Structure 1
Amino acid sequence: MTCRVSFPVSGDCVGMATWSLRAARRSKDQYLTTNEEVTMPLRWFATCAGSVPILFCLVIVATGKAPAEAPPTVTTADVEKMMTSLSNWGRWGKDDELGTLNLITPKKRKQAAALVRSGVSISMAHDAVKVKMDDSTAFEHEVTLGANSGDVGGAGDRYAVQYHGFTHTHIDALCHIFYKGRMYNGFSSDLVKRTGVGKLSINRVKNGIFTRAILMDMPALFGVRFLSGKQAIYPKHLEAWEKRAGIKVQPGDALLIHTGRWTRRNVEGAWKIMQDSAGLHASCLPWLKKRDVALIGSDLALDVMPSGIKKFELPVHCVVIVSMGMCILDVLDFRAIARECRQRKRWEFLLTVSPLAVEGGTGSPVNPIGTF
């Protein structure tokens, strides 16, 4: 038996009731419909035994006795401290340019390869957007026709793209962000030239990324099609998803955060991304360091926006890249792989990522592939 469900972010009945009351006030368009609904076994909803506790939860809603848990707060001073307390500078040597990708060992790659059982592969790249969208420039594509030689002809292409931003699927290299004149591992931002960056370039990732990925399906956790604007994802949500999915993030894993950004855009149209977007709260940063995540990605820009932290528009981006030395996959499209994961009831798979081999580059367009 299956049903449409709304998952609470906590395992107790009080949390379930509180969440359901808030959810009822949201736009119906946000909730599960058609091909993108989360159809789960009824047992996923039964966090308490039987139907009596669920009725009890409804009574709690009616009486108003479900105090909301205060979310964690992070200040500018806290983020500044994290730049030091969560640092991986020197962990793999003073000349290291790989950062947390060092955590993807040969043993880890073998374990990831063993996840391939059915041989089904799914892209997590959004198709190139050839019009200006969400404050990002269009992907330029010009086809050129070659001269015919008898019956044989041909065609070529010219591509041009400013991929950093909110529209094109890409990876951020460790030279993409610096703080107080320093990049990851203490390298000076003076190494950044118009002709290329002298250290930490995307070409350090030329051999590709091959590891286990875990998709954290936040719309499925919250029981919605997409997360609403400014919805912050806290450590408790990451741990709630681990519990629901029966999986734990391990050292060397790639962590992929699905917020439903592309579904939201289809439903609501364009919005001011920097002012109204779901994503990770800065309080997740110590959690990422503790779990030794090797790579992180999302379907937008990772951070909740606005961050609410002065001086740091994207605090997660800043600490993850500069302090931890972790590359970021931005603007992925998880719709297809989320459907596959839901059907299989499996949220781990082999991830492969191959950036362009550009010496001095600050990142690269990519086509991340998940294989089951």
Structure 2
Amino acid sequence: MRWRQRPAGSNWGDFGPDDQLGRTNLIGPEQVRKGVQEVREGISLCLSLPLDYPGGNVLNARRLPPQLRPTRREGIPYVNFPLGHVYPGATDVVSDDQVLLSLQYSTQWDSLAHVGALFDPDGDGQPRTVYYNGYRGHEHILGPQDHGIPARDGDGAAARYQPVCCAGRAPDESVARALGVEHLAVKGMQGRGVLVDLERAYGTDFRDIGYDELMRAMERSGASVEPGDMLLLRTGFAELVLSMQRQPDAHRLHHSCAALDGGDEKLLQWITDSGIAALIADNYAVERHPPRRVPEDGAPYPVLPLHEHCLFKLGLPLGELWYLKELADHLHALGRTRFLLTAPPLRLPGAVGSPVTPIATL
């Protein structure tokens, strides 16, 4: 077994010792049928931003817009390419392309390999790099370097450490041998979605949403969730991103709209108790980032507490930067909050995230 003790509040082992699906196990045939029963009008809505939004890399310096390029054969780009050059007399003209894509640049799924934690799974006092259900960094989640475990100096600040190259691995190679996004693709990520419109309840002012605020918004709209449902939160953030025409204003974006307060323990407990199978928002990171509450005594803490709770402890995938305005408007006009959601990620083995083109059917 990969662990002798599991994190407090986690469900490790509840779905089996080798489970890699986490709470999406709760999306079974009954939940799919419930989703299908919400299809009445025959309306299908795309819930994805164009994948070259938000534009630039001011929201995340690591993630760059997609770069489309033609495929090539013997140095010749295959766009508007007459096949008669290869097959004399042929009348076909071929265009063929490829893309360099940050998998979590735009509308996306976070897989369970996206965020882990430094945790002591063996009970020996030694923290290790661990992910959902005890899967290990450098054993199951592989990268080109072993970054080590940061030590802490007397002031509580992280000490410097020297990354070590992992022998036998290419300089840029990374792969999730466990918990990769392909498991969510095979699962299908199809079932009943429930929308809570935070923008309609609170507007687009900068606001942290804890348990109490979420419950008020759900009560106002008549929304409720059952185990296996996928919960979607509209804040207006994606609409603001679209309005900026690929020239995002980072200061304005970081000081607008609602976001979940990942430091609210009551909210995290509700996520556990609700049985939701996925948590999705139209904003960046779902939760408020960077957090506004940091321990003053230097105690260890997660920078992304909601990510840690959902991905690391519960195996609950997160969706980010979904476009929800048209769906919200239709549901409001119909007096509904539920719909059929179909949102499989790319079946890309070993990836820790994936772009997605979700479809809501009403």
**TM-score, normalised by the number of residues in structure 2:** 0.73
Q: Give the aligned partner of residue 245 of structure 1.
A: 221
The aligned counterpart of 1:95 is 18
Q: Aligned pair 1:189/2:137, yes or no?
A: yes
Aligned to 2:123: none
1:217 equivalent among 197, 213, 228: 197
Q: How far did residue 294 of structure 1 move?
A: 0.3
Deviation at 1:303, TM superposition (A): 0.5
Contact in 1 for aligned 2:113/2:131 (Cα 8 Å): yes
**Which residue of 17, 25, 38 maps to 1:115?**
38
Which residue, out of 284, 287, 299, partners 1:303?
Answer: 287
Q: Is the counterpart of residue 170 in structure 1 residue 108 in structure 2?
A: yes
Over the aligned positions, Cα root-mean-square deviation in angstroms equals 2.1
Q: Which residue of 2 aligns with 1:322?
A: 312
The one-letter amino acid paired with 1:137 is L
For 1:244 and 1:344, how far apart are their aligned partners in 2? Answer: 15
Q: Could you say which residue in structure 1 is the equivalent of 2:184? A: 205
Q: Which runs of 4+ in 1 moved over 6 A?
A: none
Amino acid of the structure 2 residue aligned with 1:211 = G
Alpha-carbon distance between aligned partners in 2 of 1:86 and 1:272, rounded to the nearest angstrom: 35
Q: Which shifted more, 191-200 or 170-179?
A: 191-200
Q: How many residues align?
A: 284
In 1, are the aligned partners of 2:82 and 2:91 still within 8 Å (CA)? no
Taking the aligned partners of 1:253 and 1:173, their CA distance within structure 2 comes to: 18
1:148 is matched by which residue type in structure 2? L
Write the distance in 2 (CA, Å) between the matches of 1:316 and 1:252.
19
Matched residue SS, 2:312: helix
CA distance in 1 between partners of 2:306 and 2:331 (Å): 26
Q: Return the alpha-carbon distance in structure 1 between the equivalents of residues 24 and 223 of structure 2.
A: 21
Deviation for aligned residue 1:109:
1.0
Q: 2:100 aligns with which of 156, 160, 178?
A: 160
Post-superposition shift, 1:103? 0.7
Pair 122,274 (structure 1): closer, same or farther in 2 beyond 3 Å: closer
Preserved contact between residue 215 and residue 257 of structure 1 (Cα < 8 Å)? yes
Q: Deviations over 1:36-84 (max 9, x none)?
A: xxxxxxxxxxxxxxxxxxxxxxxxxxxxxxxxxxxxxxxxxxxxxxx93
2:237–2:282 Cα contact (<8 Å) kept: yes
Which residue number corresponds to residue 42 of structure 1? Answer: none
2:119 counterpart of 1:139: no
Query: What residue is the counterpart of 1:348 in the other structure?
Result: 338
Mapped contact 2:279–2:317 kept (Cα < 8 A): yes
Which residue number in structure 2 is paired with residue 60 of structure 1?
Answer: none
- Map of 1:249-288 to 2, 5 A cutoff? 249-265=225-241, 266=243, 270-272=249-251, 276=255, 278-282=258-262, 283=264, 284-288=267-271
Q: Does 1:366 align with 2:337?
A: no
Secondary structure of residue in 2 paired with 1:128: coil
Change (3 A) 1:213 1:309: same
Contact 2:225 2:276 in 1 (8 A): yes
TM-score, normalised on structure 1?
Answer: 0.72
Distance apart, 1:304 and its partner CA: 1.4
Question: 2:192 corresponds to which letter in structure 1?
Answer: R
Cα deviation for residue 237 of structure 1 reads 2.2
Closer, same or farther in 2 for the Cα pair 1:195/1:85, shift >3 Å?
closer
Asked if the contact 1:274–1:306 (Cα under 8 Å) also holds between the matched residues in 2, the reply is no
Change (3 A) 1:272 1:186: farther
Please give the alpha-carbon distance, in whole angstroms, between the structure 1 residues aligned to 2:248 and 2:224: 35
Distance 1:163 1:357 in 2: 12
2: CA distance, partners of 1:274 / 1:285: 25
Query: What CA distance in whole angstroms lies between the structure 2 residues aligned with 1:261 and 1:218?
Result: 11
Paired letter, 2:107: T
